[in-house]
A and B are shown apart, each in its own frame.
Chain A
Amino acid sequence: MTTDKSRDDEFTEYVASRGGWLRKVAYLLCSDWHRADDLVQESITKLYANWHRAGRVENRDGYARTVLVNTFLAEQRSPWLRRWARGAEIGAEPVWTQSDPDTSLDLRQALAALPPRQRATVVLRYYCDLTIDQTADALGCSSGNVKSQTSRGLDTLRRNLTPRPTERSRA
């Protein structure tokens, strides 16, 4: 059995090496660095509580990433719980700066505008470079669902990232 001391050392070493990567994934999911930190903090806490399980899986990074994404999606389902978790710091939603209505949205805004599951699908597929099947595993859904979420997410991104001539012409 792994002792608590060695478990702590192993966990600390893992977070030291992979925390930055998890933070980037979290940022793409929630579009706000402070929220990303909260998300990573919660995710690694879960990771620690299940470290024995994480240690048995072949792909520990994949396991951590799944924890992160599921934590993100769980928060989206329950703003109530999210607010409780964050205590008095209530500004839990992404903080956007209003984009110029005459130009396209920037990528961060466009990504944040996607429904959470579509956003998670896009991030897993195109940032984490997961296959459809791997994404389905991470999200706990079917491959067909990943395909449809990806398609809709990309359509929305494409639409929002494309300058709108009618609006530009108003200027």
Chain B
Amino acid sequence: MNTDQSGLAARLAELAESAAPPSTVDVHTAARDGRARVRRRRFAVAATTLAVLVAGASTLAVLRPGAAADSVRPADGAPRSPSPTGTPSKYVGGPGSPAPAAPTSAQTALPFSGSDPLTAEAAFGWLPDFTKSVWYRAEWNGTSLQARGVVGGTPASPVMTLTVYPAGTTPELKDFPTGAHAVRVDAPAVNGREAYWVSSNDANYREGLDLLRWRTPDGRWAQLDSSGLPAADREQVPLRVAAGVTFAHRQVPLPFRLHGVPDTFKVSGVIVQQPVADAPQPWEVDVNYAAGDYNFTTVFVPAGSTATVPAAVIPSRAPLPGLPPVSQEPMACGNAQGVRACVSAQPVGMLGPVGGLTGWLGRFTLLGPDQSAWTTGVLG
């Protein structure tokens, strides 16, 4: 190592020792979440072709690949095995398996038919007062709907994930990797129909589980997987939420129309955030596209709201002087009809077929912030 490099090592060490805010890392939360992942991994192995359609009170929803619904089929027709608990698939690689290579567009394409990538099979009804937003996500390998809340301003926010199994699929109770058993514990009937908790004979797993399953009116199984609930709410709140869930299939309107998309561009995901009641956060819709081996995201928020626009696409994150182009994340934003749309892509060359960042934004027709004006004729 030459002098310069020795100096760099010293400067890095100095930088790492610079003043830092108090850490928010929580080892107990990590252990709890880690236990949950072990549990879900175990379940996921046993999951058969599972379609889970979820929906929310605000008429938005997402779908799982392989759904039995007539409008939902995996793009390649192959069965997939998403987690029945709707576990976000954000980190599919474990420590022993370095992060996987970015999937190709063929692997990431969101399966849907028609012109709307979002459909709903169920909807939240009653939600607890702490609920601040309902999130919906569709991805190639799984979907989730979550009611997110805040209790006492703590970072351990409650999250309740609603999923619905396709007709004919019975969720399994599989043992945990440590040898602990998953146990069915009868729950009070939900609207007069069979219900049970998934628990364990092991105290550690039992403590981390707030997982309720119940029969839908048409005989399918629904599931509500909760975490972060106040201790006093862990039983009654999921039961009440479950009782309020309704089941119906519908397409979900989005705030734009999109035209002229090359066949090589595939919708690979959708996230919708809907504020609940007086939540300060505005709505937000994110659409992720796969172009070859890359993905890029387009974000829609009400014009004038900057709180939720990701820093990656905020113009104020101006290029730093003197930086090489390769390290900057190209972005473009535009306002129309009271909606702000931003797109960022790295490398930006992936958008060449659509005229670059601005060319891509130009293919959207924005419909305004009034959700009654949104459309299910999104693509085409």
Contacts and interface: CB of A to CB of B under 8 A. Distances in A.
A88 B34 contact: no
Interface string A85-122: 10110111111101101001101110101110000001
Contacts of A37: 23-25
Contact of B17 (A24, A126, A140, A158): A24
A61 interface: no
B38 to A, nearest CB: 5
A27 to B, nearest CB: 6
Contact of B37 (A1, A4, A45): A45
Given A15-B27, A90-B309, A96-B317, A53 B95 contact: yes
Contacts of A20: 23
Contact of B35 (A48, A81, A90): A48
A46 B91 contact: yes
Interface stretch (B3-11, B116-124, B333-341, B356-364): B3-11
Given A46-B95, A71-B91, A80-B297, A95 B311 contact: yes
B26 A74 contact: no
Interface centre among B91, B96, B269 (most CB of A within 10 A): B91
B320 interface: yes
Interface in A36-72: 37, 40-42, 44-54, 63-64, 66-67, 70-71
Given A92-B312, A105-B322, A127 B25 contact: no
A123 B321 CA distance: 23
Nearest to B268: A80
Interface residues of B, number: 79
Interface in B69-122: 88-91, 93-96, 98-100, 102
Contacts of A107: 11-12, 15
Given A1-B178, A114-B327, A127-B16, A77 B102 contact: yes
A105 B286 contact: no
Interface in A140-157: 140, 154, 156-157
A74 B24 contact: no
Given A49-B34, A50-B94, A80 B311 contact: no
A94 B311 CA distance: 8
A92 B344 CA distance: 14
B311 to A, nearest CB: 4
Given A28-B15, A140-B98, A11 B286 contact: no
A82 to B, nearest CB: 7
Contact of A49 (B12, B41, B102, B322): B41
Interface of A is mostly: helix
A126 to B, nearest CB: 4
Given A27-B20, A45-B37, A91 B99 contact: no
B202 to A, nearest CB: 6
B12 A88 contact: no
B179 A1 contact: yes
A24 B323 CA distance: 24
Interface residues of A, number: 85
B232 interface: no
Contacts of A15: 25, 27, 30
A171 interface: no
A41 B26 contact: yes
B44 to A, nearest CB: 12
A88 B312 contact: no
Given A49-B38, A71-B91, A24 B297 contact: no
Nearest to A64: B95
A8 B204 contact: yes
Contacts of A169: none
Contacts of B178: 1, 4
19 contacts: A4-B204, A15-B27, A27-B20, A40-B25, A45-B29, A45-B30, A46-B94, A49-B41, A83-B271, A83-B286, A88-B133, A88-B148, A88-B273, A90-B311, A96-B317, A101-B321, A107-B15, A111-B12, A157-B8
Given A47-B95, A80-B268, 11 more contacts: A15-B25, A23-B23, A37-B25, A70-B95, A73-B99, A77-B102, A82-B90, A92-B311, A154-B5, A158-B4, A160-B323
Interface of B: 1, 4-5, 8-9, 11-13, 15-18, 20-21, 23-31, 33-35, 37-38, 41, 88-91, 93-96, 98-100, 102, 132-133, 135, 137, 148, 157, 177-180, 202, 204-205, 268-269, 271, 273, 281, 286, 288, 295, 297, 308-312, 317-318, 320-324, 326-327, 329, 344
